[in-house]
Amino acid sequence: MKLQKKENNKNIDKITDKEAEEAIVKIFKWMGEDPGREGLIETPKRTVKAFKEYFKGYHEDPVRLLDKTFSDVEGYDDMVVQKNISVQSHCEHHMAPIIGVAHVAYIPNERVVGLSKLARVVEVFSKRLQTQERLTMQIATTLMKALDAKGVAVSIDATHQCMTMRGIKKEQATTVTNYYLGQFKEDLSFQNRYLRFIAK
């Protein structure tokens, strides 16, 4: 993951907060707004601060979150399922919010990871410009590799505001993506049990 991040960013010039704020002022002018009016004077600075939170995943390594595992599990070898992990991301096509929930499961291979780490991996990848399909796969492949798991399943059910607020404007539409690896892909009994668990 570190290598991929480095390759993705090696040709990107470092932009200062000030330069980012100036870009937002230009967008205001393009919109037809007066960036000097009282309500907008501090907005560029606040927007940059908000963007640092929205997109902090670019500066975090999800693999490192999974470094610490525990082997004292007394032979537990069934799936671990974490449901209803909140997802807040932004689509890479319109930078509109993606809001939903993720469900994550893995089958340990002698070692387990702290439960909070599963949600943190979801958050790291969510805090980047995304497509839901890629987000689902990134979470799954990272957990599979970092934990040396016997299997991983990830599902995301989300609303895309690029579809509800603009374009086709279908407010009730949600998108569901699933990705299975290892035993979840090879053995439908695991996959079916997982789907029953997350449906409850």
For this structure, is 33 an active site residue?
no
For this structure, is 123 an active site residue?
no
Q: How far apart are the first and last CA of the chain?
A: 34
pLDDT in the model for residue 138: 98
| DSSP 8-state assignment for residue 75 | T
| DSSP 8-state assignment for residue 114 | -
| Residue ranges, CATH 3.30.1130.10, the chain | 62-199
Instruction: Name the active-site residue from 130, 160, 183, 191.
Output: 160
pLDDT in the model for residue 114: 94
pLDDT in the model for residue 75: 82
For this structure, is 132 an active site residue?
yes
| Residue ranges, CATH 1.10.286.10, the chain | 2-54
Please check whether residue 68 is in contact with residue 111, taking contact to mean a CB–CB distance below 8 angstroms: no
pLDDT in the model for residue 61: 96
Amino acid at 38: E
**Across the chain, what does the average pLDDT equal?**
93
pLDDT in the model for residue 77: 86
Instruction: Name the active-site residue from 93, 110, 133, 186.
Output: 93
- Determine phi and psi for 152, rounding to 5 degrees: -140, 140
Give the H or E element holding residue 80: strand 80-91
For the chain, which residues score pLDDT lower than 50? 1-7
CATH code for the structural domain at 62-199: 3.30.1130.10
For this structure, is 162 an active site residue?
yes
pLDDT in the model for residue 2: 44
pLDDT tens, residue by residue, 145-174 = 999 999 999 999 999 999 988 888 888 899
For the domain made up of 2-54, give the CATH fold: GTP Cyclohydrolase I; Chain A, domain 1 (1.10.286)
For this structure, is 160 an active site residue?
yes
Instruction: Name the active-site residue from 21, 91, 123, 191.
Output: 91
Instruction: Name the active-site residue from 130, 132, 138, 191.
Output: 132
pLDDT in the model for residue 5: 46
Instruction: Please tell me the number of Cα atoms within 13 Å of 54 on its side-chain side.
Output: 17
For this structure, is 94 an active site residue?
yes
3 state DSSP class of 62 = helix
For this structure, is 59 an active site residue?
no
